Chains A and B, each alone.
Chain A
Amino acid sequence: DADVTQTPRNRITKTGKRIMLECSQTKGHDRMYWYRQDPGLGLRLIYYSFDVKDINKGEISDGYSVSRQAQAKFSLSLESAIPNQTALYFCATSNYNEQFFGPGTRLTVL
């Protein structure tokens, strides 16, 4: 079984809809992250959490919110999706030495 899982893997939605992307991990790590990947822009940090009670904004948090429901679960929400949020979204966890990424969620906002 994969250590970091993301659901859904693909999602098409319409402008204005609320959508939640979910991430679960079995690695036992306290630190979790959400990134978006766009062609030519690399990976940009949206939010990160160093433990269940800790939530921090990243480089591009506007239009997004997160919830850390448990050590193993970290969800990303788009309250009112817009087309420029179309991207590939990655969840990651880390120990002190490296980050472990999930397989990604491809989100399309029409």
Chain B
Amino acid sequence: GENVEQHPSTLSVQEGDSAVIKCTYSDSASNYFPWYKQELGKGPQLIIDIRSNVGEKKDQRIAVTLNKTAKHFSLHITETQPEDSAVYFCAAERNTGFQKLVFGTGTRLLVSP
């Protein structure tokens, strides 16, 4: 089955810096890669996703890149703000539409003012 590895487990940056979180997946048939943000005391929430037919997707300060050959994808946050502090999870799915996701182990991002 699918296995998703996520690094780093913790990441500390200064406000205004960029942050990058990386994930690798094992199943070459996976074709959907979402990123979820979990704020303290809340459930995860989707922030951005990418499908295997594109290499990059942007939404304001966040972007995701996908390298299918290397089987890895990354989340990029630019101009970080304290409210970006949270736990971020990557995930992968083989059959788009079924939403049967395999999650990474999470990255705790801390943005210091």
Given A31-B99, A96-B97, A99-B99, verify A43-B89 contact (CB < 8 Å): yes
Q: Are B6 and A101 in contact (CB under 8 A)?
A: no
From the candidates A43, A59, A94, A104, name the one contacting B99 in the complex (CB within 8 A).
A94
Beta-carbon contact of A41 and B42 below 8 Å: no
| Cβ–Cβ contact A48 & B100, under 8 A | yes
For the complex formed, measure the closest distance between the CB of B57 and the CB atoms of chain A, giving whole angstroms. Answer: 14
Chain A, interface SS category: strand
Residues of chain B lying within 8 A (CB to CB) of residue A103 = 41-43
16 A-B contact pairs sorted by A residue (CB < 8 Å): A40-B106, A42-B6, A42-B89, A42-B104, A43-B44, A43-B89, A45-B100, A48-B100, A90-B43, A92-B43, A99-B36, A99-B44, A102-B43, A103-B42, A103-B43, A104-B41
Residues of B29-67 contacting chain A, CB below 8 A: 34, 36, 41-46, 49
Residues of B within 8 A of A43 (CB): 44, 89, 103, 106
B interface footprint on A44-79 (CB within 8 Å = 1, 0 otherwise)? 110010100000000100000000000000000000
A45 and B89 CA atoms in complex are apart in Å by 14
Query: In chain B, what residue has the closest Cβ to A101?
Result: B43
Whether B9 is near chain A, meaning CB under 8 Å from some CB there, is yes
Range, interface on chain B: 20 to 34
Q: With the chains together, A34 CA to B44 CA distance in Å?
A: 13
Residues of B within 8 A of A (CB): 1, 6, 9, 34, 36, 41-46, 49, 89, 97-106
Cβ contacts under 8 Å, B105 to chain A:
40-42
Interface residue range, chain A: 20 to 34
A31 to B95, CA, bound (A): 15
With A4-B43, A99-B36 known, 18 other A-B pairs at CB within 8 A are: A31-B99, A33-B99, A40-B105, A41-B105, A42-B89, A42-B103, A42-B104, A43-B103, A43-B106, A45-B102, A59-B102, A90-B43, A96-B97, A98-B49, A101-B44, A103-B41, A104-B41, A104-B43
Whether the Cβ atoms of A44 and B101 lie closer than 8 Å is no
A96 is contacted by which of B36, B99, B100, B102 (Cβ under 8 Å)?
B99
